[in-house]
Amino acid sequence: MRILRVHSWPGTGGGAEIYVSTISDLMRRRGNPTHLVLIAERPGEPDPDVTWFPTLPKGARRAASDLLGSPELLHSLRGVAAEFRPDIVHLHNYDAGFGTIRRWLAELKVPVVMTVHNAELVCPNGSLMRPGYIPCEGGILPRCQFTGCRVGWGLPYELAQRSSFDRQAAGRVRAFLCPSRALTEYVHRHRYRPAIHLASFAPIPSSVRASPTPGPPDGTPPTVGFLGRVEWYKGMEPLLQSIRILRSSIPDVRLEIAGEGEGLTHAMELSRALGVEGSVIFRGRVTGDAKEKWFRRIHVLVVPSICFDNLPFVAMEAQARGRPVVGFGVGGIPEVVHDGEGGRIVPVADPGALASALGEILNSPEARVSMGTRGREWVLREFTPEQHLRRLDAVYEAVLAGRSLESLVEADAVPFLPNGS
């Protein structure tokens, strides 16, 4: 089976980019020729199995190019397809260069599947959260401009993009693959069908799979860890507020923030305004050995996303290393972290509840060990590359053979397909 992947995403690297790279490598190792077309603003490392096409920076020229199409991108896509001769095309996101992708998809003679990596297919800013932290029913509509949501003046662009996808691309997609059950329901509800729940996985080093990561050395202050993009939607404000609350009962508590992002400066300023700057350490981006050392320094990980978070890799990574996780009950977070088992799930954007749950775990070594053990067992059993590849293979084979995808659920080849798909 020859697989051509197209990932059109101009943003900074994150879980989707890690997944696309990892799954491509795994497929090649299994003998499935795989080529990736990456449409993004920044190039990656040179790779004979990757074709990189640069987009314009965000702005009016970029919007016009996306809407009207790019002859250069179309020529590149046609050339890759002619040379690679795929059996199936796997689309990852529909963003940068979407006007060209739409035209190219209409020309293809092979089946197309799509992984829905985030909620932007059903929400103009991907948050699925209205002001006041009220979960939204979803849909990219003109009314989004009047709900108080952070859609800004980009809504006309989003409406045009979604109209383009609905009219000329969605019909070419034989299966919409969603990492979380929560997103599967949204995608199905908005008539992108068949919507299939296909949980992703986090790349876990073999050394971590072999044994849990040792805990912090004796004498280490009670330490909470945050790993990821430092952005407003990742919940920096309620997180820092929870540390201020937590200091009243655990004066030496420490928060280690590992990551970069547009919200970094604001987070630093807020830590000073709240008077907790002495308890917060900003580590910047950590990878490789530095990342493993970072995990060894923390007692508990926090995932304080205040908007829809599909299926956070970091929650898998922490539990695989024997670290409990405390997260807000939004999106797919409760699907990765079982409340009372691998950690705690608390109401979204509630710093008091977050502080209470963190304090409960930090004050109880027995609870930390118990949750760490159960969370590790859960993640290493349910979120494995082998299981994901088996299910992905089943989807590919069914699509190529023209079989009903409902039969995959009956055969336990995939775990969940909403009724009526």
What are the structural domains, with CATH classification, of the chain? Answer: 3-203+385-410 (3.40.50.2000), 206-382 (3.40.50.2000)
Measured CA to CA, the distance from residue 9 to residue 157 in angstroms comes to 15
Q: Is the preceding omega at residue 203 within 30 degrees of 0, hence cis? A: no
Give the pLDDT of the chain (421 residues) as one tens digit per residue. 999 999 987 665 677 888 998 999 999 999 999 999 999 877 677 789 999 998 877 777 888 888 889 999 999 999 999 999 999 999 998 888 999 999 999 999 999 999 999 999 999 999 999 999 999 999 999 999 898 898 877 899 899 999 999 999 999 999 999 999 999 999 999 999 999 999 999 889 999 999 999 999 999 999 999 999 999 999 999 999 999 999 999 999 999 999 999 999 999 999 999 999 999 999 999 999 999 999 999 999 999 999 999 999 999 999 999 999 999 999 999 999 999 999 999 999 999 999 999 999 999 999 999 999 999 999 999 999 999 999 999 999 999 999 888 777 666 666 655 765 4
Q: What is the pLDDT of residue 301?
A: 98
Q: What is the pLDDT of residue 349?
A: 97
Q: Please provide residue 301's backbone torsions phi and psi, each rounded to the nearest 5 degrees.
A: -105, 145
DSSP states of 194-212: SEEE--------HHHHHSP
DSSP states of 25-47: HHHHHTT--EEEEEEESS-----
Q: What is the pLDDT of residue 12?
A: 57
Task: Confirm if 8 and 93 have CB atoms less than 8 A apart.
Answer: yes
Task: Confirm if 409 and 417 have CB atoms less than 8 A apart.
Answer: yes
Q: What is the pLDDT of residue 16?
A: 85
What Rg, from alpha-carbon coordinates, does the chain have?
22
Task: Confirm if 306 and 330 have CB atoms less than 8 A apart.
Answer: yes
Q: What is the pLDDT of residue 412?
A: 63
Kindly report the pTM of this predicted structure: 0.93
Measured CA to CA, the distance from residue 371 to residue 243 in angstroms comes to 21
Q: What is the pLDDT of residue 327?
A: 98
Q: What is the pLDDT of residue 421?
A: 46
Q: What is the pLDDT of residue 414?
A: 64
Measured CA to CA, the distance from residue 336 to residue 343 in angstroms comes to 10
